[in-house]
Homo-oligomer: A and B are copies of this chain.
Amino acid sequence: VDLYNYKLTIAYDGTHYHGWQIQPNGVSIQEVIEKALKTIFQKEIRIMGSGRTDAGVHAHGQVAHFKIDQDIDLKRVLGSLNGLLPKDIRILKIEKVESDFHAQYSAQGKIYHYHLCFARVQSPFTRCYALHVKEKIDLEKMAEAAKLFLGVHDFYAFANEAHTGCAAYDSVRHLQRLDIVPEEGGVRLEFEADGFLYKMVRNIVGTLLEIATGKKEIDDIPKIFASRDRRLAGKAAAPQGLFLIQVKY
């Protein structure tokens, strides 16, 4: 039988989930969407995301695809899915795509944002959507340090991954943009790259925070890159500040 291929664009508030990917200890976003698809199509449907996001991480534009032997009514399925899903997970778009489209392997790049709050008292409305930094921050130093991450680098030291031990593991990525944009109560760090290693954004933000608070020096960055040693980079910044904004194809 011919299989039709569908692309989902998904927004979610990750606060109450154990991340994107199905796993034994908690409810994942993938699992909740697959359950809704099963209710609609009366059979198991596996969706493939562009990549996992951790517990507490949010998305404005996660992408996933799934195959099915039916030419579906896009508008009707969009409505049914959003009717079945909890309101903290929304399908923004559903499109029919070529059979070789793959949410992960076809991706050409991604954009992530990370929100930092510098207010003395954090607004109750950003408590799940920004990291509250209470220490004094040197923003100029942070901006200068951010420049050293731009370009093509081996980001091995900034990745937490089970398979970093494999000979075939490729940890070279092209970070095309890292902008620090002022916003109410703090700043937003905008990352754009051809791809990201696991926890790479949070590890870079953690390192930038250690530099901006005087715990590390700007000169440490080239040394951390060269070391390929995860222990030398900063502690991963908390998940709630991180948003997957867009996956580019």
Interface set of A (CB-CB < 8 Å, partner B)? 11-13, 58, 60, 78, 82, 87-92, 121-125, 127, 129
Contacts and interface: CB of A to CB of B under 8 A. Distances in A.
Number of chain copies forming the complex: 2
Contact of A129 (B58, B60, B125, B127): B125
Contacts of A12: 124
Contacts of A124: 11-13, 87-90
Q: A58, A82, A124: which has the most chain B beta carbons within 10 Å?
A: A124
9 contacts: A11-B124, A13-B127, A87-B127, A88-B127, A89-B124, A90-B121, A90-B123, A90-B124, A92-B121
Contacts of A87: 122, 124, 127
A125 B13 contact: yes
A167 to B, nearest CB: 40
Contacts of A121: 78, 82, 90-92
A209 B87 CA distance: 22
Given A11-B123, A90-B122, 7 more contacts: A12-B124, A13-B127, A78-B121, A87-B122, A87-B124, A90-B123, A91-B121
Q: Which 7 A-B pairs have the closest CB atoms?
A: A87-B127, A13-B124, A88-B124, A90-B121, A90-B124, A11-B124, A12-B124
Contacts of A13: 124-125, 127
A125 B87 CA distance: 9
A93 to B, nearest CB: 9
A58 B123 CA distance: 12
Nearest to A85: B124
A244 to B, nearest CB: 13
A121 B129 CA distance: 20
Contacts of A127: 13, 87-88
Contacts of A78: 121
A132 to B, nearest CB: 9
Contacts of A125: 11, 13, 58, 129
A124 B60 CA distance: 9
A123 B12 CA distance: 8
Nearest to A123: B11
A127 B124 CA distance: 15
Q: A58, A91, A121: which has the most chain B beta carbons within 10 Å?
A: A121
